[in-house]
Amino acid sequence: MKKTSLSLLIAFLGVNLSVNAQTAVTIDVNTANAKTVISKDIYGHFSEHLGRCIYDGFWVDPALNVPKKDRIRLDIVDALKKIKVPNLRWPGGCFADEYHWRDGIGPREQRPKMVNTNWGGVVEDNSFGTHEFLELCALLECEPYIAGNVGSGTVEEMAKWVEYLNFDGISPMANLRKENGREKPWKVAFWGVGNESWGCGGNMTPEYYADLYKRYATYARDYPGAPLKKIVSGANSWDLNWTEVLMKNIPIRDMWGVSLHYYTLPTGNWSKKGSATVFDEKEYFQTMKNGLAMDSLVRKHSEVMDKYDPQKKVALVVDEWGVWTDVEPGTNPGFLYQQNSMRDALIAGATLNIFNNHAERVKVASLAQTVNVLQALILTEKEKMLLTPTYHVFDLYKVHMDAKLIPLNFKSPDYVVDGDKIPAVNASASIDSNGVVHITLVNLDPKKKISINTALNGLKWSGVTGRIVTSPKFNDYNSFDNPNKIVAAQFKGAKKNGNQLRAELPPLSVVELTLK
């Protein structure tokens, strides 16, 4: 399809079910402005040695009766391949800055055990290490993203890890890799230089960390055919000064990206974050409001970065995000196991729309975490496995990967609770290499339908298909007794009427529309 000028007129009609009032909202879009590519790496994930993410998640007991390669659980691999996971961040998280990579190579029976002091005080047997992680990434057909140890490690330790993974020649580390069964290097590109260096990664000042980063980055070498994408350990949520100091003190040429971490707490209170499934509309509303703050957060950190990097050479890497609730009753508080409801799916859809709309700066993101931890895509219970509502949202949104962003400009109807309000609708759109337009829309309102009337001037299209993730209640979730309560389904609420697209978004819904 020729990328001619396209004017999209999208009218959102907020329907008041009691008095049948309507509010029209107009969006003007022109595909001539679709120039920024939405990096597929925005749809990345994060897997830490934490709780049952690695052990009893990806890496299972040999006796467990599930398909596996070595001890890698293949039904999980197949599920993640379906949503085209682009990258996987490992080994942490806070665990990264107490992890010494040489403990996790060589014969497994000879690997030393350690205590995971950050997460539950359990024994880490190091049976899942560098080779196992990179085998997992090969099975997933995704890019590995490794977080190096700055907090308790050394410059030499990280330098040798890079050499072990990336050098194709004769050297002590390359020879050691070959002795351990891997002839050719993996050529890992994404490298995080520390993690949360303002907190569990060393409780550093930004000035101290910036100097330390430059030392580590100097000795993390670009070997032939294996240039590194070095990612600076960036700010905790609203700490703009941390970003300012890093951008000011570290030369642009010495960093590929700067990270940002932000978690959506339902209550906004770290000491009592709120239940994953037991909450009322007021807490639901507050969760949505806290989640939508990601847009302002990305804007403010991007503004700081723009002062020093107006050409946007440095990526903003949101490599920890998601909903963080209290753990499920009766589970180890250090394992961070939580259920995943329709509320989580809506946060996922809204956040991915935000990242898409900031694609000029946000190039990588990592949902925390992939299996059995925080806002997981997958939950397991021995042989059983279920896909969470969040998983199904990622399945819908994969159409945006490496497509060009179509900027949207509109004012949403309000969703109001106790006099406070947030936008009821958020959206993003893209056009792929075949000229197919994809629009993803989220209706956060738990009671009102949102009607869409879209005029597609200048676009030749023959029809629309759609998919939806929705449920009647915001605290509905998939359980092992009812694993398919919330799934992605065909959306029948959209149709072509002349050259107009008409659709109706149910309450509590994430919808993807494809125009061909």
Q: Does a structural domain hold residue 275?
A: no
For residues 208 and 89, membership in a common domain is answered with yes
Residue 307 belongs to some domain of the structure? no
> pLDDT at position 33, please?
82
Within a domain: 239: yes
Per-residue model confidence as pLDDT tens digits over 142-170: 999 999 999 999 999 999 999 999 999 99
> Does 320 qualify as catalytic in the annotation?
yes
CA-CA distances (angstroms) from residue 109 to 51, 164, 182, 218?
22, 21, 18, 35
pLDDT over 60 (residue 28): no
Interval 274-291 mean pLDDT: 98
Is-catalytic flag, 196? yes
- Could you tell me if 70 and 57 lie in one domain? yes
Report if residue 396 sits inside a domain. Answer: yes
Q: Is residue 291 part of a domain?
A: no
Both tokens of 48, joined, read 């830490």
What average pLDDT does this structure show over 339-366?
Answer: 98
Give me the pLDDT at residue 210, please: 98
449 shares a domain with 362: no
CATH number at residue 186: 3.20.20.80
CATH code at 413? 2.60.40.1180
Q: What confidence tens digit (pLDDT) does each residue in 207-241 have?
A: 999 999 999 999 999 999 999 999 999 999 999 99
Closest listed residue to residue 8, CA positions, set 429, 384, 379: 429
375 and 235 in a common domain: yes
**Are 124 and 199 found together in one domain?**
yes
Same domain, 362 and 473: no
Banded pLDDT at 1 (limits 50, 70, 90): very low
13 and 73 fall within a common domain = no
What is the number of other CB atoms lying within 10 angstroms of the CB of residue 214? 16
Instruction: Report CA dihedral (320, 326, 331, 333) to the nearest 10 degrees.
Output: 70
| Catalytic site residue from 163, 320, 504, 512 | 320
Question: Is the model's pLDDT at 384 over the cut of 60?
Answer: yes
Separation CA 275–CA 477 (nearest Å): 13
Single out the catalytic residue among 98, 124, 132, 196.
196
Of 106, 207, 211, 219, which is closest to residue 160 (Cα–Cα)?
219
Residue 95 in domain: yes
Tell me the three state secondary structure of residue 19: coil
Does 160 reside within a domain? yes
Picking from 326, 378, 335, the residue whose alpha carbon sits closest to that of residue 116 is: 335
Helices and strands, number each (H, E), in the chain: 9, 27
Query: How many folded domains does the chain comprise?
Result: 2
pLDDT digits (tens, 9 = 90+) for 36-51: 999 999 999 999 999 9
Last residue of some domain: 369, 402, 435?
Answer: 402
pLDDT tens track for 317-337? 999 999 999 999 999 999 999
- The domain containing residue 503 runs over which residues? 7-37+406-515
Whether 19 and 87 map to the same domain: the answer is no
pLDDT in tens, 442-484: 999 999 998 887 766 667 788 999 999 999 999 999 999 999 9
Last residue of a domain, one of 382, 402, 422: 402
- What is the predicted pLDDT for the residue at 506? 94
Given this model, what pLDDT does residue 461 score?
Answer: 81
* Mean pLDDT score of the chain: 93
pLDDT at 411: 82
Residues 227 and 371 in one domain: yes
CB atoms within 10 A of CB 400: 27
> How far does Cα 57 stand from its chain's mean position?
18
Mean pLDDT value of segment 474-495: 97
Question: Helix, strand or coil for residue 497?
Answer: strand
Same-domain status, 365 and 382: yes
pTM: 0.94
**Residue 206, number of CB atoms within 10 A of its CB:** 21
Residues 425 and 394 reside in one and the same domain:
no
Residue 173 lies in a domain: yes
Q: Which of 402, 431, 465 is the last residue of a domain?
A: 402
Residue 419, pLDDT score: 96
User: Are 337 and 435 members of one domain?
Assistant: no
Query: What percent of the chain lies above the pLDDT cut of 70?
Result: 93
Q: What is the pLDDT of residue 457?
A: 60
Rounded mean pLDDT of 260-277? Answer: 97
Q: Would residue 349 be called left, alpha or beta, if left means φ above 0 and alpha means ψ between -120 and 50 degrees?
A: alpha
Q: How far apart are CA 343 and CA 468, in angstroms?
A: 15
Q: Tell me which of 16 and 177 has the higher pLDDT.
A: 177
Q: Which residue has the tokens 């580590």?
A: 216
